[in-house]
């Protein structure tokens, strides 16, 4: 057992790190807070990206690419946005190195190569994009402008964690411009639905849709919509956000258009994004002490086939069956890998692919050939059974769908069990410490109370759920009147 994984019970954080590192998703790098995404992890991201990209295009968006650098003067144009990100920006101040005269073989920053104006490495791209949109929008005929970009951004976080919070991360950011407020709000909500659809139906992760409180709102937004997921340790994870930006950026960057009546007005904006953080959520929500468990729809390898043989003659017979099967599965668009590497024995491969979270494993040996069957093992339940070679491709197809559905159901059952109402402060604190998860409680609606609760319990308001049930009640902390419950949790 050279690759043992720390159990969740023993050390949840270490368990998470073990899964990422030993599952081959990512590695630490020589750069503080930055990780290397390894081929297996990147294949997972590519699958996620491809699905999302299609969803964006199906809803009328197109891709473009904007610069990594933002001149400081542009960055500071939208005041609240700039202020919100100021503390975590990387800044380029020089453009040249030179030989260090006092240390042979070393380089130093050339003081003569100081930039006139510093460049901010984008922590988000609103500034550079809205500066560009100014030149693209004159008339209502130019609207709506529906653009997405796939990019990297940098946020100089104090404390980083693989995938969940890295100094540099990959994401997509949509930036749209509209003629009316109503249209922009519809867009904001539409993209939230796209995210929820993707995370639930492709990542098998149930989410709660809602809006953020003013405290938790995106810097520069009028309203921030979000989807919140629950991890196995009872902590919440913000899985995606969609912002209604009002006319804030249009005003900051002077983006006006003429409407049908030749009346000038500022455009209405949205922005929305999900990042490689989703991979962290995927890992934390589904995996177990034996390794990753990946949902079939986005798993880099959906089916792995392991041959078991005692001689090259046996191997040849197995190859013949497997090659036909691989051909069949590929024809059905199933991502299949035949691992006939003779360096590793079957038992080793079983453990390895369990660690990597491959949803379905097929083992085939002489015994199976004689009976015209294969052994099929599911990663999610660890169940094994013999299945006839006849119609196996259909069986696999169905099994992948079953696994996908089962993973979602399991995560949803856990999430639902961990949504609890609290009506007294004692219950609230007790639930946070023992049961954990989402807690539905009344709140008096003030930022001060929210802040106080965070201070006392480390729990934040994750969101005010959409279409929230209205009911009379009293605030969990202050006892003041409240009209609805909001969703509290400790969060990543």
Partner RNA sequence: CGGGAGGUAGUUCAGCCCGGUAGAAUACCUGGUUUGGGACCAGGGGGUCGCAGGUUCGAAUCCUGUCCUCCCGACCA
165 forms bridges with which residues in the sheet? 161
Q: Which is nearer to RNA, 207 or 377 (CB)?
A: 377
> With binding defined as CB under 7 A, does residue 9 bind RNA?
no
Query: How far apart, in Å, do the first and last CA atoms of the chain sit?
Result: 31
Residues in the chain: 492
The whole-angstrom separation of Cα 93 and Cα 117 is 8
Binding residues among 130-189 for RNA as defined by CB under 7 A = 155, 157-162, 165
Give the tokens for residue 130. 């809205």
> With binding defined as CB under 7 A, does residue 364 bind RNA?
yes
> With binding defined as CB under 7 A, does residue 350 bind RNA?
yes
Q: Determine which residue in the list 24, 33, 280, 295 makes contact with RNA, applying CB under 7 A.
A: 33
> With binding defined as CB under 7 A, does residue 121 bind RNA?
no
Q: Which is nearer to RNA, 238 or 440 (CB)?
A: 238
- Contact pattern from residue 255 through residue 294 relative to RNA, giving x for each residue in contact according to CB under 7 A and a dash for the rest: ------------------x-x--------------x----
Q: HSE-up of 225 (CA within 13 Å, CB side)?
A: 26
DSSP string, 331-391: HTT--EEE---TTS-HHHHHHHHHHTT-SEEEEEEHHHHHHTEEEEEETTT--EEEEESTT
Contact at 8 Å (CB) between 143 and 137?
Answer: yes
> With binding defined as CB under 7 A, does residue 95 bind RNA?
no
Q: Which is nearer to RNA, 375 or 393 (CB)?
A: 375
- Contact pattern from residue 296 through residue 335 relative to RNA, giving x for each residue in contact according to CB under 7 A and a dash for the rest: ------------xxxx------------------------
The whole-angstrom separation of Cα 382 and Cα 364 is 17
Q: How far is CA 219 from the centre of its chain?
A: 20
Element (H, E) at 452: helix 447-457
167, 159, 158: which is closest to 36 by C-alpha?
167
Minimum distance of RNA from residue 474's CB (angstroms)? 27
Tokens 């100014």 belong to: 134
- The stretch among 61-69, 212-220, 330-338, 438-446 that binds RNA (CB under 7 A) is 212-220
Q: Which is nearer to RNA, 169 or 266 (CB)?
A: 169
> With binding defined as CB under 7 A, does residue 206 bind RNA?
no
Residues that bind RNA (CB under 7 A): 1-4, 13-14, 16-17, 28, 30-34, 84-85, 87, 123-124, 155, 157-162, 165, 216-219, 221, 224, 241, 273, 275, 290, 308-311, 342-343, 345-352, 354-355, 363-368, 375, 377, 382, 384, 458
């Amino acid at each position: 057992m050279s690759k043992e994984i720390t159990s969740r019970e023993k050390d949840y954080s270490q368990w998470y790190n073990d899964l990422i590192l030993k599952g081959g998703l990512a590695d630490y790098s020589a750069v503080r807070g930055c990780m290397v995404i390894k081929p297996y992890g990147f294949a997972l991201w590519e699958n996620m990206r491809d699905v999302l990209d299609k969803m964006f295009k199906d809803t009328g968006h197109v891709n473009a690419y904007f610069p990594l650098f933002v001149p400081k003067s542009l960055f500071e144009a939208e005041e609240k946005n700039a202020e919100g990100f100021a503390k975590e920006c990387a800044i380029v101040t020089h453009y040249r190195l030179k030989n260090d005269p006092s240390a042979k073989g070393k380089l130093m920053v050339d003081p003569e190569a100081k930039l006139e104006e510093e460049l901010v490495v984008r922590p988000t791209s609103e500034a550079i994009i809205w500066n560009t949109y100014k030149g693209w929008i004159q008339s209502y005929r130019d609207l709506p402008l529906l653009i997405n970009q796939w990019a990297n951004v940098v946020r100089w976080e104090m404390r980083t964690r693989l995938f969940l919070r890295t100094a540099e991360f990959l994401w997509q950011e949509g930036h749209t411009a509209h003629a009316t407020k109503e249209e922009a709000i519809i867009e904001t909500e539409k993209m939230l639905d796209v995210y929820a659809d993707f995370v639930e139906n492709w990542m098998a992760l149930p989410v709660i849709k809602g809006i953020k409180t003013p405290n938790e709102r995106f810097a520069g937004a009028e309203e921030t919509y979000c989807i919140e997921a629950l991890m196995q340790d009872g902590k919440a994870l913000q899985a995606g956000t969609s912002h209604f930006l009002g006319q804030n950026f249009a005003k900051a960057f002077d983006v006006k258009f003429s409407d049908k009546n030749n009346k000038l007005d500022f455009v209405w904006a949205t922005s929305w994004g999900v990042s490689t953080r989703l991979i962290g959520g995927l890992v934390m929500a589904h995996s177990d002490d034996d390794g990753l468990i990946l949902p079939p729809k986005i798993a880099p390898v959906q089916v792995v086939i392991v041959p078991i043989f005692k001689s090259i003659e046996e191997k040849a017979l197995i190859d013949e069956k497997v090659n036909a099967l691989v051909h069949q599965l590929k024809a059905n668009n199933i991502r299949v890998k035949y691992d006939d590497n003779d360096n590793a024995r079957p038992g080793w491969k079983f453990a390895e692919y369990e660690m990597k979270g491959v949803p379905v494993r097929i083992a085939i040996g002489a015994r199976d050939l004689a009976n015209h069957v294969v052994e099929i093992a599911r990663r999610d339940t660890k169940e094994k059974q013999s299945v006839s070679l006849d119609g196996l491709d259909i069986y696999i197809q169905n099994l992948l769908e079953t696994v996908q559905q089962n993973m979602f159901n399991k995560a949803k059952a856990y999430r639902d069990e961990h949504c609890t109402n609290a009506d007294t402060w004692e219950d609230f604190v007790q639930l946070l410490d023992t049961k954990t998860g989402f807690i539905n409680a009344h709140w008096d609606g003030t930022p001060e109370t929210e802040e106080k609760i965070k201070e006392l319990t480390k729990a934040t308001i994750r969101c005010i759920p959409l279409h929230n049930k209205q009911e009379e009640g009293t605030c969990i902390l202050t006892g003041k009147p409240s009209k609805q419950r909001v969703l509290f949790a400790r969060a990543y």
